[in-house]
Amino acid sequence: MGLLSIIRKIKRKEKEMRILMVGLDNSGKTTIVLRINGEDTSVISPTLGFNIKTINYQKYTLNIWDVGGQRTIRSYWRNYFEQTDGLVWVVDSSDVRRLDDCKMELHNILKEERLSGASLLILANKQDIHGALTAEEIAKVLNLDAMDKTRHWKITGCSAYTGEGLLEGFDWLVQDIAARIYVLD
Amino acid sequence: MLHYLARVVQIQHTLSPKSPLRDASVFGALLKKHESMLRRLSDLHQSRIQQSASLKFYSDTKSFLNRFAESRNSIENELDRCSRASDPESRDRLKSDLEKVSAAIADLEKLVAESSYFLPAYEVRSSLDSISQLKESLDVVNAKLLPRKRFAFKNKVVNRDSNNVLGSVVNAVSESGIGVASNEVLVEKPSFRVCDSPGFRNKEGEVLVERFDGEVNGDFTLSDLRSCEVRLIGRFRALFIHRLRDCKVFVGPVLGSILIEEVEGCLFMLASHQIRIHHARESDLYLRVRSRPIIEDSNGVRFAPYRLCYEGIERDLKDSGLDEETGNWENVDDFRWLRAVQSPNWSVLPEEERIPMVNV
Ligand SMILES: Nc1nc2c(ncn2[C@@H]2O[C@H](COP(=O)(O)OP(=O)(O)O)[C@@H](O)[C@H]2O)c(=O)[nH]1
Ligand SMILES: [Mg+2]
């Protein structure tokens, strides 16, 4: 029977995960990816199109897609949905005015069939800014409790500026994906 | 198969360490569970295979690479031809030729994006590198053959009195094809109200001044201002600007980013690490910026270097990493425009129209 060959096939790809970074522009997606990868974050231009980073994280290889958040290209996000294992939704916790926009875009993306199996990490970024909303407040505004019960999700406060909270968030994401996809390890 | 059984035993062990291995019913249940798990995994794997097979794209790395190399060569040849164009006739066609090159590069980028799910990571990265090299070459050819000045003066076609900032926003939103029809979830009002951050809001015809002394980690908001003059003196972390009309805004160094949306007929004097401008019309921006400023859905915006003065600004700029003039005030990216060909939506503010150094 084919079971063993399936196991082998899964094992071969086992170390790779695809992660999609999304969120409104200016929320800090590119900064977060660079910070996790230990790169210089002092000069970052707004992302036109997309960047792909391959990062070794614990024993996994993360293929991280950092997609530009500008309206012009938001409709291209769909191109990146196929085979996404994890979704990171980044929020600028100091940008109170656009939270409605943020909520709307998040709920839109979660309706995507092709993303229904993906683990969801919400990063309430820019916690270093005085007056930023806390992760709990962001969770309320985004109405996360109303989310589909089958979705695996977590929200964490973080700052790409100080690095605080990033590892906690990504550790959860990677573990959650691993538990789902590589049960046989 | 031995391997397989060993795993089942292991699983049983972790799930209920006390139950004896002889317990057939537990064992049977576990076997079933494990089988269904394998089936799920197999399904997942199958659906992944099918998904990638059903992609209309070139699901085969080799043919992708061939196609990529072909386009890249033809783009390079075309750039080369353009850069050597000397007779007047071909020079006239340069602009449209270079626009075609720019479009071809955009297509190539899209091809990579679409193919990236079956391409090895290495191929994706090296393709993206080639694309940015092509963009750079195009920039160089553009700068050489089509100096910005030639376009800078054609930009003033927009009529200053049509004051429909909001109208253009609505259009842009529905144009993007997202977020209009499919938003049932969001129609409900937010269940939770948050208090506003520090800022100036809903003012008309006033002079508004704020000094930032100790606290540099705060953000600040300017929204719904009309015919005001705003002075923000000192340094702080982030600035949000929303719905301003006929205002003059002078701002000290901002350590993070500035986000500008829906402004018209304004003058901005800003220094920051990042500046994003959406839905701006007929406004002049005097900038000092570490990265490339971007505009989107904007027109009639003009750029010049930062010229602000107040006591202690030198030190504030230095402490914010903004003492150096990077020249980025004129490296504007228009996200609504094919890159590398001068956008008609912005221009460099001619020297003679610039205001002198401002002391606030
Ligand atoms: N204060 C602060 N600023 C941040 C943080 N993360 C990002 N930024 C700033 O926010 C701006 C937008 O960041 P960027 O990564 O380009 O956002 P993106 O559009 O989501 O990729 C930049 O000026 C960053 O320096 C953070 O945690 N704290
Ligand atoms: Mg970015």
Residues of B in contact with A69 (CB under 8 A): none
| Distance (Å) of CA B107 to CA A59, B97, B103 | 36, 15, 6
Distances in whole angstroms, Cα of residue A10 to Cα of each of B7, B191, B273: 16, 43, 44
In whole angstroms, what is the distance from residue B252 CA to residue B184 CA?
A: 42
* Position B14 pLDDT exceeds 70: no
Enter the ipTM: 0.83
* Interchain CB contact of A24 with B (< 8 Å): no
Neighbours of B8 (CB within 10 A): 15
User: Which of A108-112, A133-137, B262-266, B299-303 shows the lowest per-residue confidence on average (mean pLDDT)?
Assistant: A108-112
Query: Of the candidates B113, B182, B237, which has its C-beta nearest A108's C-beta?
Result: B182
Which three-class secondary structure state does DSSP give residue A130? strand
Ligand 1 in reach of A133 Cβ (< 6 A) = no
Whether residue A105 and residue B38 make contact (CB cut-off 8 A), yes or no, is no
Q: Distance (Å, rounded) from C-alpha A121 to C-alpha B71?
A: 38
Nearest CA in chain A to B297: A72
264-303 of B, contacting A, C-beta below 8 A: 273-274, 276, 278, 290-292, 294, 296-297
B108-117 pLDDT per residue, tens: 888 887 777 6
- Among B219, B276, B335, beta carbon nearest to A94: B219
Q: Would you say A27 is a known binding-site residue? A: yes
CA angle A48, B135, A39 (to 5 degrees): 55
Q: How confident is the model at residue B329 (pLDDT cuts 50, 70, 90)?
A: very high
Nearest to B258 by CA among B158, B342, B186, B244: B244
Tell me the mean pLDDT in the region A149-156: 94
Show contacts of B220-225: CB within 8 Å, 24+ apart.
B221/A97, B221/B196, B221/B197, B222/B247, B222/B249, B223/A97, B223/B199, B225/B200, B225/B201
CA B124 to CA B118: how far, in whole Å? 10
Q: Hey, are the CB atoms on A54 and B114 less than 8 Å from each other?
A: no
Interval B190-244: pLDDT, tens? 445 556 789 999 999 999 999 998 778 899 999 999 999 999 999 999 999 999 9
Cα–Cα distance, B128 to B148 (Å, whole number): 27
Catalytic residue among A58, A70, A83, A175: A70
Any binding-site annotation on A125? yes
CA atoms of B295 and B279, how far apart (whole Å):
8
* A58 catalytic residue (yes or no): no
Cα B203 to Cα B205: distance, rounded to the nearest angstrom: 7
- Cross-strand partners of B272: B254, B289
Average pLDDT over every residue of B163-188: 33
Looking at all shown ligands, the one closest to residue B276's CA atom is: 1
Residue A33, pLDDT score: 95
Q: Residues with Cβ < 8 Å from B220, sequence gap 6 or more?
A: B197, B198, B199, B210, B232, B236, B238, B239, B240
Confidence class for position B25, pLDDT limits 50, 70, 90:
low
Listed in order, strand segments (DSSP E) in A23-170 are 50-57, 60-67, 86-92, 119-125, 153-157
DSSP state, residue B345: T
**pLDDT (tens digit, 9 = 90+) per residue, A30-68?**
999 999 999 988 888 888 767 788 898 988 989 898 887
In this prediction, residue B287 carries a pLDDT of: 98
Q: Is A154 annotated as a binding residue?
A: no
Rg from Cα positions in chain B: 29
- Rounded Cα distance, B163 and B145, in Å: 36
